[in-house]
Structures are given as C-alpha cells and as structure tokens.
Structure 1
Amino acid sequence: MDRHIDFDGIENFRDFGGYATRCGRGVRRQRLFRSAHHAAASEADLARLTELGIEVVVDLRRPSERRREPCRHETFARQVIASDLDDHDGWVENARAGELDAEWFRNDCRHFYRLTPFEGRHVELFSRWFHALAEAEGAVLVHCAAGKDRTGMICALTHHICGVHEDDIVADYLLTNEESRITRRMASLGDFLEQNLGRRPADEALRVGVSVAPEYLHIAFDRMAEECGSIDGYLTQVLGVDAGLREKIAAKVLG
C-alpha cells in the first residue's frame, strides 16, 4: 500500500490512517494527513487538497518559517492552527558553526528530539492537534517544514493513542525515507544551506539531514517516560489528553 500522495509542489504528503489497532476498529483512511510545507503548491495542488476534504490544518512551524515559506491554507481549510510562541530559530546559526557532516546532522536530530516534547510552543501545538482531532468532522492535516521530525513525532503519538502497534508506528515514521523521493529533498536542503551559509554539505551528510531514524523517535519517547512515567503519562500530564478526549478522538478517527 503506497501511502504517499503525489503533488506538484508538496513533499512527503501521506495518509497515515489505515493501520490496525488493538481494539480491532482500525484507523480510518482519508482522515489523517501529514506533509511538508505547501509554499510551492500549484493551483492543481490546492484544488486537490480541497477535494480531500481537509477541514483543519495544524502548522507546526515557527512564525519565521511561515513568513519565509508562506502557505495558502485558507484556500482549502476552514481552520488553521499555528503558534506565535518563541520565534527564535537558531538552526541556521548552529549550522553555520557546525561541521555539517553526517554526524553533525545525527547529533542535531538527537538533541532536537530530546528537547521538543517539553518546549512550550510544541506542547501548545501538540495539544491543539489532539483537540482538533476530537472536534473535526472532516479530515485533518498536520505539517511542519519537511514533514519528518515535528510532524513525525505528533503522528507517532496519534498512532499510539489509537492503539497502533509499535512496529507499525515506526514503519509509518520511516516512510519519510522512501528512496525515490529522498534525492529531491537532498537537493532542496543543499540549495538552502548553500544560499544561507555559502557552503554545501556532502551528499552523505545531506542524506542524513533529510532522513529519519528509529533512534530519534525512541529518544523522544524515552524522554517522555523519564519525565512522566510513560508516553501515556506525557499525553495526560503535559498535553491534557485525558480519557474523555481519547474517547472523542477514537469516535472521529477509528472505524
């Protein structure tokens, strides 16, 4: 089953429903979507997004990212959820001072996944995502810049709530690495770094930079367990996803 949906100008767009769950109901298809940003979306792309019946978009990017690559969400979605909290994005500055080899990108991701679950802006957006799932009558789309890290984390948590098996959670997360699509993203990251830093990492490093690894997701989940006792503890204590909200989400996204 190919979960990727091809667009002219949107990368890594996927339906992340369709998985079996512990309760036997399964996650609905055509209900949960994820992607990279939509700044390069064509008119045909926007029309197709409308056809998918997307009611709510959750944009996980910082304000500076949204200004740099603005998306036309209002053309196809009734509600757009974003956050203006903490607009400091030091990634480019960190990259300027870094080696930008493969290990630099790995360590950058390791650090990001450990910090992100407890950062205020992500706590706000992750919580609002789950409340949107509980209320939306139509499909819901979540995206960040590349659709791999912030998006990957919240989609994995969504699958966890739904009762998707851990093996399927990781397998879905790793679909970002599909070989036929990764070369294009390597070129895009290389162009961005060359324009902003005046140097271009080697292909080996760029491949790591646009990929995900099970280790990263486990780092985030381990931090949640360290601080809150378990992933479920994190969902309840930090994001406010209690039993009542879970029931509402199940009613919307399970078969």
Structure 2
Amino acid sequence: MTDYRAHPEHAFERVANFRDLGGHTTRDGRRVRRGRLLRSGHLGRASEADVEILGRYGLRRVFDFRTPRDIELEGADRLPDGTESVLLPMPDPARGSDIRAMMEGATPEQVEERFGGGRAEQMMRESAAGLVRERREPYALFLKALAESTAVPALFHCSAGKDRAGWAGSVVLLALDVPEEQVVEQYLLSNRAAEQIIAQASRAQSGYMHQAVLPLIGVREEYIHASFEAVREDWGDFDRYLHDGLGITEAEREAIRKNLLE
C-alpha cells in the first residue's frame, strides 16, 4: 500500500500542516489519487516560494473554512494565479484568537482556571461534536463542490488545519469508503504541526508553555471519536449522516469517488 503518511511539508516556508490525502486505500481496494485533494493550515502568510510550490499542483479551488475575524488576523490566502478561493466560514473550535489574546496578558493561574482540570479537553470534545451537528451547511457545500469535475485538484484549510479541516478531511475519506482506522491516523498527523507550534510558543515565552492549553493546540483521538459518536447518536451511521445530514446524493458521492479515486 502507498504510504499516505508521506508529506512534503518541509518544502514550505510559511505554510504549516500541509499534506496530500492521496495514498489511502478504500474498502474495495481502490486508492485515493495523489495530488487531487490537499489540506493545510491557512495560506495568509505564504511566501512567494510557497505560492510557487502550490502552483505546481495546478490547484483549481482552495476551500477556506476560516471566519472573517480569522482572515483579519492571519491574512487572506495568497494563491497561485488562476486558483479560485471558496469561503465556507465556520468558528474555530479551538478558539485560537481567544487563546492568543488571553495568553498575552494572563497569569498562569488565570490560564489554569479557564483551561485546566480537563476543561480544555471537554471543550474540544464538545466542539468536535458541534462540527458534526451545527456546521452541516459548509461541509455539505464542500462535498457538493468536490463532486464537480472542475473542482479538483483542490486544497482545503482552516487556521491551523486541524479541527475544521480535520473533520472535512475525515468526511471526505469516509465518503470514499476509507476505513475508519486510516481516517483516525490521517486526523492525528496534525500533531506534527502542533509540536512545532508548541516549540515556537515556548521559545517566545522564554521556555514556558502552560500545560493547560496543550489540549487546544494538538488533536487527540478522543476528539475525532466525539465526532463519530455525534454521527451515531443523531443519524445512526455515516451513510445516513452523509445523505440525511448533509444532503449528499448517491450520484454526488459516486462523482466524488470518480474525481478522487484511482
């Protein structure tokens, strides 16, 4: 089997958490094509070299799940010429802007009070379930777009590329009939980028990084399982979530398979 964990993120100067969803195998033995669907953190600070690398993929569309506030803080995407930007805004489950603002002036005691004692983990589990139940429209629009032959090659992202984009990637792979264990492994790959964020933040804060916020920076298996559980509780299984929750027809699902599988 192709190693879907291979990733060229080291080639980018200012684009984090980049990877290709290609290489995953489906239950019927097909494979997700490389270079068709990519994911990353935001592209608001992409360098000229980064934009040139992105251009090599021939991207037709970039799906941006950030809010206007996120874009104000991080910058609008810097894209190759001819790439269409598609905005599908939804709030950040990890509340990155709130955390940044708080960390700038908060005492360790204040950080612990807000995020310690398992509160951060609980917030992330609830947010992961909320992406399933409360953000159906943007995910539906994303999948319907991927059913169009003119949509790919495509890239999707949020801010860090781990929560909103994490569920987006999971939904696509599940729609392609990729086994759940591969979906979880793909989701957890965002922790490589989280390790870099933690190291950078620690250096910026003279080696200090409050342990209470670490659950917000990375991803955990319990978060994606909270999303799976929300699907089961509300729709019974993923197929019903896809059809009844997101309104994806079998014809659209087959078109997504045609666009992304080999």
TM-score normalised by the chain length of structure 1: 0.84
Q: In structure 2, what is the Cα distance between the partners aligned to 1:189 and 1:106?
A: 20
Match of 1:184 in 2: 196
Distance 1:129 1:38, change over 3 A: same
Cα deviation 1:214-239 (Å, max 9, x = unaligned): 11111111112211121211111121
Distance 1:161 1:99, change over 3 A: same
2:168 maps to what in 1? 154
Q: Distance in 1 between matches of 2:218 and 2:148?
A: 32
Post-superposition shift, 1:101? 3.3
Q: Which of 95, 116, 124 lines up with 1:109 in the alignment? A: 124
Pick aligned residue for 1:38 from 43, 54, 61: 43
Give the 5 Å matches for 1:58-69.
58-69=63-74
| Equivalent residue, structure 1, for 2:255 | 248
Output the aligned Cα RMSD: 2.7
The equivalences for 1:1-255 within 5 A come to: 1=3, 2-6=6-10, 7-76=12-81, 78-83=83-88, 96=102, 98-101=113-116, 103-119=118-134, 122-137=135-150, 138-178=152-192, 181-187=193-199, 201-202=209-210, 204-255=211-262
> How far 1:191 sits from its partner (Å)?
8.9
Name the TM-score, length of structure 2 as normaliser. 0.82
- Listed as ranges, the gaps of 5+ residues in structure 1 are 195-199
Aligned-pair identity in percent equals 30
Describe the superposition over 1:4-54 as per-residue Cα deviations: whole angstroms up to 9, x where unpaired: 422100110000111111222211111110111112210000111111111
Instruction: Show structure 2 runs of 5+ residues with no match.
Output: 103-109
Given that 2:66 and 2:87 are in contact with CA atoms closer than 8 Å, whether structure 1 keeps it comes out as yes
Aligned-pair CA distance for 1:74: 4.4
Distance 2:171 2:38 in 1: 14
Using the alignment, how far apart are the partners of 1:70 and 1:24 within structure 2?
A: 41
Q: For 2:9, what is the secondary structure of its paired residue?
A: coil
